[in-house]
Chain A
Amino acid sequence: MAARNGFLKPIVVAMGVLALAPAAQAQTRAETLRQLTGNNINTLDPSMPGATREAFGVSTSTYDRLVAFDRKLENGVWVFDRTKIRGELAESYQVSADGLTITFKLRDAKWHDGSPVTADDVKWSLDRAVSAKSLSAGQLGTGSLTKPEQFKVVDAKTFEVSLPKPDRLALANLATPLAPIINSKLAKKHATAEDAWAQEWMKTNTAGSGAYVIESFKPGEQIILRRNENWTGGREGRLPYFKRIIEQTIPEAATRANLIEKGDADIAIDLQAGDLPALQSRGKVKVDSTPQSNGFTMIAFNTRMPPFDNIKVRQAVAAALPYEAMFSAAIFKRGLPMFGASWSEVPNGTFPQPMPVKTDLEKAKRLLAEAGHGNGLKTTFTINVGSAAITEPMAVLMKEALAKVGIDMEIQKLPDAQMSTAVAEKKLAFFTEGSSAWLPTTDYFFRTFFSGEQRWNYSSWNNSTIADLTTQARYELDPEKYEEMSKRMIEEYLKELPLIMLWQANQDAVMTPKLDGYTYWFHRQVDFRDLARR
C-alpha cells in the first residue's frame, strides 16, 4: 500500500494542478478586459504632440481630471452628456454669478504612490498645460485658459480658476483628456533644465491618480493596466469592475472581429462597417451603435480657389450629389444623415444637424449656367488612402452624378500624411474628410471648422458675420441669446455652403454579449471605467 501511495502521489498532485490551473486562469480572464484596436498607443502623456486617439483613451483611466462629463442613456446606449459636468478629482465646484471664477473643492484623493493630492499639484498641472509646448495649450485656449496667473491655490484642498471673460467652455475644457492632473512632486523629480515640465519622462511613465495603474506598456503592441484599489473619483465613488485591462494593437480588422466572435477578446470599436451586418446576423456579439454626435463626414470646397470661390458652383454641386446612394455605398447607412431635411427656417441652434440639401439635377444645371459654367467644368476630387474603403465608393458615385450636370471630376487618392499636408496648406480644391470636435457646441464648431487659418477650416472660409458671431456667442451666458446666435450662424452657413455635411457615421462598438456599460465618449475611445461583465 505504501509503495503504491508513493507511486500515485505525483500523479495525484499533477491532476490536482491540472484541475486547478484552468479555474485560476478562467477567473483572471473574467476579471480582465481585453480591447483590440487597429491603432497604436504611442505615449502615456496625452498632451504629447502626435499623441494618438488611443493614447487619449488610456489617459482617461490613468489620470483624473478636475471634472468629468456625465452620461445618459440614448436609444439603449450610454452616451456622454455635455450639459452635465460632475466633479472627478474635485469633490464639488462652484461657478461665480458673473461666470469669471470657478472654485474647486478637492476630494481626499491619493496619487498612485500613496501621497495625497493637493491644490499645488493641480496648479502645477494646469500651469504645465498652458505653458509647455504641447497639445494642451491649444485645447485649453478654446476655453480662455491661457496663462498660469489664472490658476490660484487657495488652500491645500481649494483651487480657483479665474477667467478674463465668462467663457462658456472653460469648465468643459477641464474635463478633456488634455487637462490631466499630475503628481507634481513626482514629475518635478524627472524634470531637467531643457525639459522643465518632464515631458520626456511622462511619455513612458505616469504620475497620476486615475482608476488604473500601468502594469506594462509596449508602444505599438500592447498596454496592460491594473486597477487602482484606492481610487475614489468614480460615479458614487465606485471602483471600476475590471481588475485588469489589456489593450492590444491588432492591425487586421478581420482578425479583431474573429477574436471577439470567439470570445477571446471583449471589445473593439474600429471594425469595418462592411463586416458588421454579417457579424450581427451570426448573433455571437453585441453591437452598440451610436451616431458620432460630435463628428461629421463632409465634402469640402476650397472657397478661395476657383471654381469653388463662386457660391453658385458650390450650391450646384450640393444639388447634384446622390446623397442616398452615397450613404448606403459608403457606410451601409450606419449613421445619421445630415442631408435631406425639409425645413426652410432653422428649427434650432444645434450643429451639426440635418440640412435641407437634396438631389435636384435641374437646379444644379441652372445654377451652373448662372455661374457661367453652362458648358461644364473640370475639377479634381481628393480622397485619403487610409479611408478609401469608405470614400472610394462615394467618390465614384459622385463622379457619375456630377458628369450628368457637366462637371468632369477626376479622383485623386493621396496617402494620409500627404493629404493632411495638402489640406493644411489649403492646396486642395475639392475633397472629403471626417472630423470631430471634443466639445460639440455650435460656436465651438464654427470657431474650429469655419473660421481662422487653422488646419480644420477645411474650406478656408472667411466670413465676417461668422467671425463676429463666434466671438460673441463664446461669452454669451443667456441661453436664449446663444440659441439665436447659433441659428444665425447656421443660416449663414447654409447661404454660403462652404462645405457639405454628409452624415455622422456610427461608432460601432462590437463586444462579447456579456459586456455592459459601454459609453460613447466625445474622445471616441472606450473608457474602461464604465465597463462591467454581467
Chain B
Amino acid sequence: MRSARAIIIRVGERLLSSLPALLGVLVVTFVLMRVLPGDPAVFFASGPNAGQAEIDNLRQRMGLDQPLFVQLMHYLRDVGTGNLGNSLTTGQPVLTDLRQRLPASLELTFTAFTLAVIIAIPLGIAAAMRPNSLIDHGVRFVCTLGVCVPTFVSGLILIFVFYYILGVAPDPTGRLDIFVSAPPSVTSFMLVDFLIAGDLEGWMAAAKQLILPSATMALFVIAPLARITRASMLGVLSSDFVRTARAVGLSSVKINIVYALRNAMLPVLTIAGIMFSTMLGANVLVEKVFSWPGVGSYALDALLSSDYAPVQGFVLLMACIFVIINLVIDVLYGIADPRISVA
C-alpha cells in the first residue's frame, strides 16, 4: 500500500517536473513556425482578386498582424484554457481534429507494435541462443530486409499483392470500409467500439482494415527490436550469474526465461518506448499510403501549407505522449529490475 502511494507521488512529481520541458517545446515550435518562410495568409487567400487587402484581412483574422510576443501570449493563454486554435486545412478546431485522429493513430500503432513485439522478441531470443547458426543468419537477413525497404514501398507492395492481385484485403482506404456503418463512438477506437456495440461483423471489417497497414509498420520496427533483443540476450547469457546458474544445474528454461530474459529486457524496453512514440508520430508514409486518418499525415499537410495551429498542437501532443510513455517505461523498468525505482 505504501509503495503504491509512493509510486503515485513520484509519478505526480515527474509529471510536474516535465511541465517546463513542455512549455519549452511549445515556445520553440511557436517561434519556429513563424520563422519559417511561407505565410499562411497568402497561401489561403486564393480569390481571383487576392490582393493585399484580402491577405491582410486573413492575417488579421488569424492574429498574425500582432507582434510576435503578443501572439505568443495569446497562444499560451489559449492553450491554458484548452484551445489549440483552428486549422485552416480542415476548417475545424485543432483539438477536435486531434481528438478524432489520435485514436486512429493509436489503434494502428498499438496493433503494429504488438505485432512487432510478438515477432521480434522470440526472433531475437532464438538468434541469441544459437549465435552464428542458420537461425541467427536467417533472423539477420529478415531484419536487414525489413530496415532496407522503406515503409511506403512495402506498403504499396502489400496493397498491390493482397488487394489488387489476390483481392483478399479490403480496399486500403482508412479505418473502415466505406459501406460498413461505423459503430456509435464511445472510445473512438474502432475495435473497442464495435465490441461495445456487439457488432462482430463490423469488428471483423475494422480488423481487416488494420492488417495491411500494421504489418507494414511492424516490418520496419521488427529489425531494431530483434537486434537489440539479440545483443542484450547475448550479453546476459555470457554473464557470471548465468554461468553460475548453469553450473548449479538449473533447468535451461529457468535460466533463459526467468534469469536471462528478465535482465535482458531493460535495453529492449528503452528502445521499445522510443520506437512506440516514433511510430505514433512519424508514420506519415504509412498513413498516406493507406489513407489512414491519423495525426502524422494531419501534421504534414498542415506543415506544407504553413498552417501554424495544427503543427503546434501536434508537437505539443507528441511531447505529452512522450512524457507519458517515458513514465510508463520507467515504471516497467522497476518491474523488470527491482533495484530501479520510478524516480
A interface with B by C-beta (< 8 Å):
25, 28-29, 32, 34, 36, 40, 42-43, 48-50, 133, 135, 138-139, 141-142, 203-204, 218-222, 246, 248-252, 254-255, 258-259, 261-262, 264-265, 385-386, 415-418, 420-422, 424-425, 437-438, 448, 452-456
Contact = CB atoms under 8 A, between A and B. Distances in A.
A203 B91 contact: yes
B159 A258 contact: yes
Contact of A42 (B40, B47, B91, B174): B91
B126 interface: no
Given A43-B91, A50-B88, A50-B91, A417 B39 contact: yes
B171 A264 contact: yes
Contact of A454 (B50, B288, B301, B304): B50
Contacts of A204: 91-92
Contacts of A221: 174, 293
A425 B41 CA distance: 12
Contacts of B306: 417-418, 421
B304 A386 contact: yes
B178 interface: yes
A534 B343 CA distance: 70
Interface string B16-59: 00000000000000000000111110111111111110110110
A43 B291 CA distance: 20
A25 B167 CA distance: 18
Contacts of A259: 171, 173
Given A48-B91, A50-B88, A416 B304 contact: yes
B90 A220 contact: yes
B263 interface: no
B289 A455 contact: no
B100 interface: yes
Q: Name B's interface SS.
A: loop
A455 B90 contact: no
Contact of B301 (A40, A138, A265): A40
A87 to B, nearest CB: 24
Interface in B241-281: none
Contacts of A251: 288, 291, 297
A416 B43 contact: yes
Contacts of B298: 220
Interface in B154-169: 156, 159-160, 163-164, 167
Contacts of B133: none
Contacts of A252: 156, 288-289, 291
B178 A420 contact: no
Contacts of A454: 49-51
Interface residues of B, number: 51
Contacts, number: 151
B52 to A, nearest CB: 7
A455 B51 contact: yes
B47 to A, nearest CB: 4
A220 B304 contact: no
B44 A258 contact: no
25 contacts: A25-B179, A36-B173, A40-B89, A49-B45, A49-B46, A49-B54, A50-B45, A50-B46, A219-B90, A220-B97, A251-B288, A251-B297, A252-B289, A254-B156, A255-B173, A262-B167, A415-B304, A420-B43, A421-B39, A437-B48, A452-B51, A453-B52, A455-B50, A456-B48, A456-B50
B71 interface: no
Nearest to B96: A219
A45 to B, nearest CB: 9
Contacts of B52: 453
A24 to B, nearest CB: 11
Nearest to B104: A221
A294 B23 CA distance: 50
Contacts of B160: 258
B224 interface: no
Contact of B90 (A40, A142, A254, A261): A40
A49 B58 contact: yes
B283 interface: no
The 6 closest A-B CB pairs, nearest first, are A50-B44, A417-B38, A417-B306, A138-B47, A219-B90, A138-B49
A422 B37 CA distance: 9
Nearest to A220: B90
A448 B46 CA distance: 12
Nearest to B51: A454
Nearest to A28: B179
Given A49-B44, A251-B297, A138 B173 contact: no
B293 A138 contact: no
A262 B52 CA distance: 47
A301 to B, nearest CB: 21
B83 to A, nearest CB: 14
B302 to A, nearest CB: 10
A258 B39 CA distance: 36
A255 B46 contact: no
- Interface centre among A28, A203, A220, A415, by most chain B C-beta atoms within 10 angstroms, is A220
Interface string B221-233: 0000000000000
Contacts of B89: 40, 42, 220
Given A48-B91, A49-B45, A420-B42, A246 B174 contact: no
Contacts of A265: 171
B183 interface: no
Contact of B38 (A203, A246, A258, A421): A421
B326 interface: no
Contacts of B45: 49-50, 424, 455
Contacts of A34: 178
Nearest to B177: A264
A139 B297 contact: no
B135 to A, nearest CB: 37
B46 A135 contact: yes
A351 B118 CA distance: 64
A218 B291 CA distance: 14
A424 B90 contact: no
A448 B290 CA distance: 39
A424 B50 contact: yes
A255 B43 contact: no
B188 interface: no
Contact of B172 (A28, A29, A218, A255): A255
Contact of A142 (B48, B164, B179): B48
Contacts of B97: 219-220
B179 A29 contact: yes
B178 A133 contact: no
B91 A417 contact: no
- Interface centre among B48, B156, B167, by most chain A C-beta atoms within 10 angstroms, is B48
A525 to B, nearest CB: 14
Given A258-B164, A259-B171, A249 B43 contact: no
B144 interface: no
Contact of A417 (B49, B51, B54, B304): B304
B305 A417 contact: yes
Given A454-B49, A455-B45, A415 B90 contact: no
- Interface centre among A258, A437, A438, by most chain B C-beta atoms within 10 angstroms, is A258
A216 B279 CA distance: 30
A420 B290 CA distance: 29
Nearest to A249: B291
B92 A219 contact: yes
Given A218-B293, A252-B291, A437-B48, 11 more contacts: A40-B301, A50-B44, A219-B97, A248-B174, A251-B288, A255-B173, A255-B290, A259-B173, A262-B163, A417-B42, A438-B48
